[in-house]
Amino acid sequence: MSKTLRGFRKRELFLSTLTGFLFALFILLPFFLVWINLIILYMRHAEWFLALITLTLAVFGYLSVRFTHKTLAMYRPHTLTKRERLIEGVSVAALLAGAGLAGSLYFLAQF
Partner 1 sequence: MREMFYRHRRLFTILALPYLILIVLLVVRTDARAYVPGDLVPIDEVITLEGEHVHETDAFHSIYVMGVDRPTFFQRGVAFFDGNVIIDDLPEHREGLSDREIFTANQISRQSATHAAIIASFKAAGRTIDYEPFDTVRLVYPFADTTLRQEDELLAVNEEDDVRKALEEAETGQMHTAKVLRDGEETAAELYRHADGMYGLSLARQYRITSSEVSFKVHASLIGGPSGGLMQALDLYNRLSEEDLTQSRVIAGTGTIDAEGRVGAIGGVREKLITAVDKNADIFFIPEGDNHDTALDVKREKDFDIEIIAVDSLHSAIEGLKEGEHE
Residues that bind partner 1 (CB under 8 A): 15-16, 18-19, 22-23, 26, 29-30, 33-34, 37-38, 40-44, 67, 70-71, 74, 110-111
CA–CA distance, 13 with 4 (Å, rounded to integer): 9
Nearer to partner 1, 15 or 59 (CB): 15
Q: Min. distance of Cβ 31 from partner 1 in angstroms?
A: 10
Alpha-carbon Rg for the chain, nearest whole angstrom, is 17
Nearer to partner 1, 21 or 90 (CB): 21
User: H helices of 1-111, where?
Assistant: 10-41, 46-75, 82-109
Q: Min. distance of Cβ 105 from partner 1 in angstroms?
A: 16
Nearer to partner 1, 46 or 98 (CB): 46
CA–CA distance, 82 with 3 (Å, rounded to integer): 22
Nearer to partner 1, 18 or 102 (CB): 18
CA–CA distance, 15 with 55 (Å, rounded to integer): 26
Q: Min. distance of Cβ 98 from partner 1 in angstroms?
A: 25
Query: By C-alpha distance, which of 65, 108, 103 is closest to 86?
Result: 65
Q: Min. distance of Cβ 94 from partner 1 in angstroms?
A: 25
